[in-house]
Amino acid sequence: SAIFDYTRVRADFPILSTEIRGKPLTYLDNGATSQKPAAVIEAIDRYYRAENSNIHRGVHYLSEKATDAYESARAKVAHFIGVADADEVIFVRGATEGINLVAHGFIETQLSEGDEILITHMEHHANIVPWQLAAEKTGAVLKVVPVNEAGELDVNAFSELLSERTKLVALVHVSNALGSINPAKALVAEAHKHDIPVLLDGCQSVPHMPVDVADLGCDFFVFSGHKVFGPTGIGVLWGKRQWLDQFPPYQSGGDMIERVDFDGTTFKGIPGKFEAGTPHIEGVIGLAAAIDYVNQLDRQGALAHEHALLVDATEKLSAIDGLRIIGTAQQKASILSFVMNEIHPHDIGTFLDADGVAVRAGHHCTQPLLKRFGVPATARASFAFYNNFEDVDRLVTAVTKMQRFFG
């Protein structure tokens, strides 16, 4: 197949041709949030200029048009992640809200004293704290799958930690801090041997690789729109109907009811039951445009291109004295965390920024994971398909310059 044309796709993202501090922008903070193609920006602009209206309750032309756009976006999301029943797709603010919704459902219907929730040492805080609170509330116990020196899950420990009391496995698909790709399909199959449902946090998988939840076999899947080239404030929770039907409403109010009376209220079925109030219509329309954009990419080509960037950056950074890469998993997405002797990651971030190179410095909302590697923070370069080998070279040049400066 043809080589992925990363020069062409780069032109689709207006921000990538801007300058930062008089230098061309080298945007390597895609793990935190990705940039937006013109198609997404234009879809939101068009919505407000010509289609703005509230959904579901209107009978007028614009309301019907907005409702159609909103509901066809749901079908688009379903198709995008391999879901057959679009009603199982719930629009939420982001992965964080999606996980909180599931945690609420588990608190209300599944968890009691002594039950276990299995997470891993490489979870984002968004997939730790809601379960910690759920455990505190119900008397359940949080169990944690360890991670090896390379930043890979200990799959034997995973199997051993599944018990008769395990009510849920909550697992990150791709680590945002290390880039490790977890063998999600195999782990889901293992959990299912014991009839234990699995929630996958797909925040960092969806932007990098095609995802098919039917193939993965999981029971819940969450991701955030803003990391997959869409707007902020919109995300997706997918859950199997058998679970979502059991959960009580997470929030309540307008649009999620069937009938309200002072004697009592009846609720809609899914998805309406979980979408109280006026939703983020603009966000949903922007997300749909982002999915259209991603769907027209050569995704295998994009994946191969990102991998080539990762390999190039890993080789070149490894050659720098005193630089240590954290996370050397066999299966890695294009996310690269590193620390340097004597130089605090925040100083790395600030130094690189002066050269227009945007990386993230900090704990990446994975404090337990970084503690396991004996560091409080790392600098993280995370690539998207629109990055190029010049971006890698700018990163490497800036790091080399910094090392000389401090060295």
Q: Is 34 in the site for ligand PMP (CB under 6 A)?
A: no
Q: Is 29 in the site for ligand PMP (CB under 6 A)?
A: no
**Total residues contacting ligand PMP (rule CB under 6 A)?**
13
Contacts of 60 (CB under 8 A, 6+ apart): 53
Closest CB to ligand PMP among residues 387, 403? 387
Residue for token pair 């209300």: 108
Closest CA to 238 of 57, 113, 101: 101
Which one of residues 90, 128, 172, 270 is an interface residue with ligand PMP (CB under 6 A)?
Answer: 172
DSSP H or E segment with residue 316? helix 299-318
Q: Is 345 in the site for ligand PMP (CB under 6 A)?
A: no
Query: Which pairs count as long-range contacts for 190-196, CB under 8 Å and 24+ apart, including other chains?
Result: 190/158, 190/159, 190/162, 191/162, 191/166, 192/217, 194/162, 194/164, 194/166, 196/118, 196/162, 196/166, 196/167, 196/168, 196/169
Q: Is 151 in the site for ligand PMP (CB under 6 A)?
A: no
Site residues (CB under 6 A) for ligand PMP, limited to 55-94: 94
Q: Is 204 in the site for ligand PMP (CB under 6 A)?
A: yes
Q: Is 224 in the site for ligand PMP (CB under 6 A)?
A: yes
Which one of residues 203, 236, 284, 294 is an interface residue with ligand PMP (CB under 6 A)?
Answer: 203
Q: Is 399 in the site for ligand PMP (CB under 6 A)?
A: no
Q: Is 199 in the site for ligand PMP (CB under 6 A)?
A: no
Q: Which stretch, 66-74, 124-132, 144-152, 179-187, contacts ligand PMP (CB under 6 A)?
A: 124-132
Closest CB to ligand PMP among residues 31, 271? 31
Closest CB to ligand PMP among residues 62, 142? 142
Nearest approach, Cβ of 104 to ligand PMP (angstroms)? 15
Closest CA to 385 of 24, 18, 37: 37
Q: Is 100 in the site for ligand PMP (CB under 6 A)?
A: no
CB of 28 closer than 8 Å to CB of 356:
no
DSSP H or E segment with residue 325? strand 323-326
Residue for token pair 């004295």: 321
- Catalytic residues, by residue number, are 365
The token pair at 250 is 């997470």
Nearest approach, Cβ of 124 to ligand PMP (angstroms)? 3
Q: Is 253 exposed, middle or buried (0-12, 13-18, 19+ CB in 10 A)?
A: exposed
Residues forming contacts to ligand PMP in the complex (CB under 6 A) are 94-96, 124, 126-127, 172, 176, 201, 203-204, 224, 365
